[in-house]
Amino acid sequence: MAAFFNKRNIVVGFILLAVIFPFITRNDYFLHVMTLAFIWMIAVYGLNLLAGYTGYLSLAHAGFFAIGAYAFGLLTVKAGFGFWPAFLLAPIITTAMGFLIGLIALRTKEHFFAIYTLCVGYIIYLVIDKWEGLTGGVRGLIGIPAPSSIGPLTLSTPIAQYYFVFVILLLVIFVIYRIIHSLTGRTFIAIRNSEELALSLGISTTKNKLISFVLSTFFAGIAGVLYACFIRFIGPDIGNLNITFDLLTYMIVGGIGTMSGPIVGTLLIVWLSQNLQFLQDYRMLIFGPLLTLMVIFSPRGISGLFALWSAKRTRKLKPKTSNVEEQA
């Protein structure tokens, strides 16, 4: 299992790189971009769990992201909750909403599910935008507290916040990894392959789809909360469909249904958009074709390509494996 050690080395390498990143750049703006990218990654992981591993493409993801952010914002700004209670409560609120919406949304399938959730996402956006009494409407919510210190650890500097978000990202990846590589994950994947087959194997698809949906909203909620306390201002735009499609692009370019896809896709696109800022909206001229090419030539994104490449390479290294005979 040489590939296993390779994988482990890559993971350790990435973690180390992320840990020393603040010392390499010394640039607060880059740190800010990176922290934001980590937050998006958490949301993309949630989306990937549902769309990539369970086969249900939800387009309400930014909606749940916004619910998480607004729940946190309202709890702290208007309800006077402390940072940590709100930090814990907001994802729970998001999850509860996700549960209720999931109950209804999951009565539909495939395109209809995508269309239904698209509408749900838009409704969430509209509610936030129009319900001025609660959310402040287009003016948004200001004065959201930054992460308060954990004992002697203060989380007010950009570097501290970077590590704070990074630790939560690692936790999220760890939890997702555990889920995917367990019987629960296998159950989700079975549903993605064929719901009929899963049913006839005795899997309660209704229950498992709901679990996956609720989990995905939970991760969207966490990402939303982190966004709110990191940016400290939220407007209805964070629930906009654009955000959903951004997350979708990160996922597809990185690799839908892969463990590393969300990281690869998010990093690539976020940095590309940073470096191509002089092109303004013409950037889409690059992202559009990139996305199309990805979908056509590598449905499992960059991570999928890489997996294919490394599989071929190991086969070349070990020509005696039975796979080669099969290929011939």
Partner 1 sequence: MFLETKRLTKQFGGLFAVKDVDFSIEEGKINAIIGPNGAGKSTFFNLVSGLYRPTSGQVLFKGKDISNLKANKVAKLGVARTFQTTHLFEQATVFDNVIVGHRLRTKANLFDSIFHTKRLKREEEQCKEKALEVLQFVGLEHAVDHLVANISQEEKKRVAFALALATDPEIVFLDEPTAGINPDETAELSELIEKMAENGLTICLIEHKMQMIMNLAEQIMVLNYGEKIAQGTPEEINRNEEVIKAYLGGSTSA
CA atoms of 178 and 12, how far apart (whole Å)? 17
Tokens of 285: 């001229």
Footprint (CB under 8 A) of partner 1, residues 213-252:
215
Footprint (CB under 8 A) of partner 1, residues 37-66:
none
Counting contacts by CB under 8 A, is residue 326 touching partner 1? yes
Shortest Å distance, C-beta 192 to partner 1: 8
Q: Which of 241, 317, 289 minimizes the C-alpha distance to 60?
A: 241
Choose which of 78, 186, 313, 318 interacts with partner 1 (CB under 8 A): 186
Residues 6+ apart with CB under 8 A from 73: 141, 144, 228, 234
Q: Residue 148 or 323: which CB sits closer to partner 1?
A: 323
Footprint (CB under 8 A) of partner 1, residues 89-148:
none
Choose which of 187, 217, 240, 303 interacts with partner 1 (CB under 8 A): 187
The angle at the Cα of 249, spanning 93 to 172, to the nearest 5 degrees, equals 45
Shortest Å distance, C-beta 156 to partner 1: 31
Which residue's structure tokens are 């409407």?
137
- The distance in angstroms from the start CA to the end CA of the chain is 23
Q: Residue 8 or 181: which CB sits closer to partner 1?
A: 181
CA atoms of 106 and 283, how far apart (whole Å)? 35
Q: Which of 102, 112, 3 minimizes the C-alpha distance to 46?
A: 102
Q: Residue 120 or 198: which CB sits closer to partner 1?
A: 198
Number of residues forming the site for partner 1 (CB under 8 A): 30
Tokens of 225: 């909360």
Footprint (CB under 8 A) of partner 1, residues 254-313:
300
Long-range own/partner contacts, residues 110-114 (CB < 8 A, 24 or more apart): 113/56, 113/57, 113/58, 114/57, 114/58, 114/59
Shortest Å distance, C-beta 216 to partner 1: 13
Shortest Å distance, C-beta 107 to partner 1: 14
Q: Residue 8 or 186: which CB sits closer to partner 1?
A: 186
Binding mask 188-207 for partner 1 (x = CB under 8 A): -xx--xx-xxxxxxxxxx--
Q: Residue 58 or 258: which CB sits closer to partner 1?
A: 258
Shortest Å distance, C-beta 124 to partner 1: 25
Neighbours of 231 (CB within 10 A): 17
Contact, 89 vs 76, CB < 8 A? no
Calculate Rg over the CA atoms of the chain: 20
Which residue's structure tokens are 């993801």?
61
Q: Residue 184 or 273: which CB sits closer to partner 1?
A: 184
Shortest Å distance, C-beta 246 to partner 1: 27
Shortest Å distance, C-beta 3 to partner 1: 13
Shortest Å distance, C-beta 298 to partner 1: 12
Q: Which of 305, 226, 294, 298 minimizes the C-alpha distance to 41?
A: 226
Counting contacts by CB under 8 A, is residue 168 touching partner 1? no
* Region near partner 1 per CB under 8 A, out of 106-114, 146-154, 184-192, 243-251: 184-192
SS3 233: strand
Within 13 A of 237's CA, how many CA atoms are on the CB side?
7
Choose which of 60, 179, 223, 302 interacts with partner 1 (CB under 8 A): 179
Chain positions contacting partner 1, by CB under 8 A = 175, 178-179, 182-187, 189-190, 193-194, 196-205, 211, 215, 300, 322-323, 326-327
